[in-house]
């Protein structure tokens, strides 16, 4: 059920068309749109997401991806059979890219003032929770928007000991570990079904990045250009795809990111 009034702007159902997150520069969406089909991290992340959610979430469920950015992951899931899926995003510019991808149902709203109640079978948020000052409120609102026994699927960056300037540039508030993430989900009324670290093989590189690209109080840039050498990108693509293929056999004590799937109690 939709609980708030909205306007339709360029085919997008808009509950409030201002940009809520002053920390985030919408120009970053341009970089995302350019890189999401090229950069190893975006490619292997969505491949890992599909592999994990396809075991739990059937393709006929009513799904929304919140904080979808340009809608690239939803586009990928639609390609692999998930037809009843929509996107939500606070930045109208991101939803315009989603429309270019052919995604039919696009909603512009603030997760901290969510306009849905008992509406979706599944809510997905990929690398969103770490941007929010009040992650508990975000999870309460997700619970409100889910149907009884609905599913939440999340990815977040892992381990505060991997914190670097890149986190500041990306406007992250925190990184998580599995124990912390399971605890906050349980507190907000979710039972964890599966939780995995991934980007395990590149964790040493992320740790090296922490020391090379140190965070300082002077880090105030908000726009991030996503660059990577094409040969390094190809090497990391093969390494990460190999890891994804054999993830269940790899000791799961750490990684660059976490994927969790949980059910509303």
Model confidence pLDDT, tens digit, residues 174-195: 999 999 999 999 999 999 999 9
pLDDT for res 107 = 97
pLDDT for res 214 = 77
Return the axis-axis angle of helices 40-53 and 72-79, rounded to nearest 10°. 50
pLDDT for res 74 = 98
pTM of the predicted protein model: 0.93
The residues with which 263 forms a beta bridge, in sequence order, are 151, 191
Instruction: Tell me the pLDDT tens digit for each residue of 225-253.
Output: 778 999 999 999 999 999 999 999 999 99
Domain map (residue ranges) of the chain = 7-264
Give 17's pLDDT tier (boundaries 50, 70, 90): low
The SS3 of residue 83 is coil
CA distance linking residue 194 with residue 182, whole number of Å: 10
Beta strands in the chain (DSSP E): 7-9, 12-14, 63-66, 85-89, 106-108, 120-126, 146-157, 190-198, 257-264
Instruction: Tell me the pLDDT tens digit for each residue of 34-88.
Output: 899 999 999 999 999 999 999 999 999 999 999 999 999 999 999 999 999 999 9
- What is the chain's percent helix, strand, coil content, to nearest 5? 40, 20, 40
Q: When comparing pLDDT for 17 and 200, which is higher?
A: 200
Q: Tell which CATH classification among 3.40.50.10490, 1.10.3720.10, 3.40.50.150, 3.30.1640.10 matches the domain 7-264.
A: 3.40.50.150
Q: How many CA atoms lie within 13 A of 63 on its CB side?
A: 26
Say if residue 221's pLDDT is above 60.
Answer: no
Q: When comparing pLDDT for 93 and 254, which is higher?
A: 254
> 36 CB contacts (<8 Å, ≥6 apart)?
42, 70, 72
Q: What is the mean pLDDT of residues 80-107?
A: 95
pLDDT for res 105 = 96
């Amino acid at each position: 059920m939709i609980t708030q009034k909205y306007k339709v702007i360029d085919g997008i159902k808009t509950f409030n068309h201002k940009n809520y997150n002053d920390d985030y520069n919408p120009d970053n969406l341009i970089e995302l749109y350019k890189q999401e089909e090229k950069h190893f991290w975006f490619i292997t992340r969505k491949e890992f997401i599909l592999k994990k959610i396809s075991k739990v979430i059937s393709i006929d469920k009513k799904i929304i991806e919140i904080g979808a950015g340009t809608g690239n992951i939803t586009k990928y899931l639609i390609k692999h059979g998930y037809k009843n899926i929509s996107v939500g995003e606070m930045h109208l510019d991101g939803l315009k890219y989603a429309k270019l991808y052919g995604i039919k149902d696009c909603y512009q709203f603030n997760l901290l003032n969510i306009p849905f109640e008992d509406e979706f079978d599944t809510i997905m948020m990929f690398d969103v929770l770490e941007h929010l000052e009040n992650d508990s409120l975000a999870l309460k609102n997700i619970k409100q928007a889910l149907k009884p026994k609905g599913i939440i699927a999340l990815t977040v960056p892992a381990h505060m000991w991997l914190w670097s300037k890149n986190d500041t540039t990306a406007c992250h508030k925190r990184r998580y570990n599995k124990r912390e993430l399971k605890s906050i989900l349980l507190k907000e009324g979710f039972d964890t079904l599966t939780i995995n670290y991934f980007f395990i093989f590149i964790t040493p590189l992320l740790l090296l990045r922490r020391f090379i690209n140190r965070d300082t109080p002077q880090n105030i840039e908000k726009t991030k250009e996503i660059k990577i050498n094409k040969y390094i990108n190809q090497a990391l693509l093969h390494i990460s795809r190999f890891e994804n293929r054999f993830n269940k056999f790899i000791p799961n004590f750490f990684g660059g990111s976490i994927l969790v799937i949980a059910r509303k109690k």
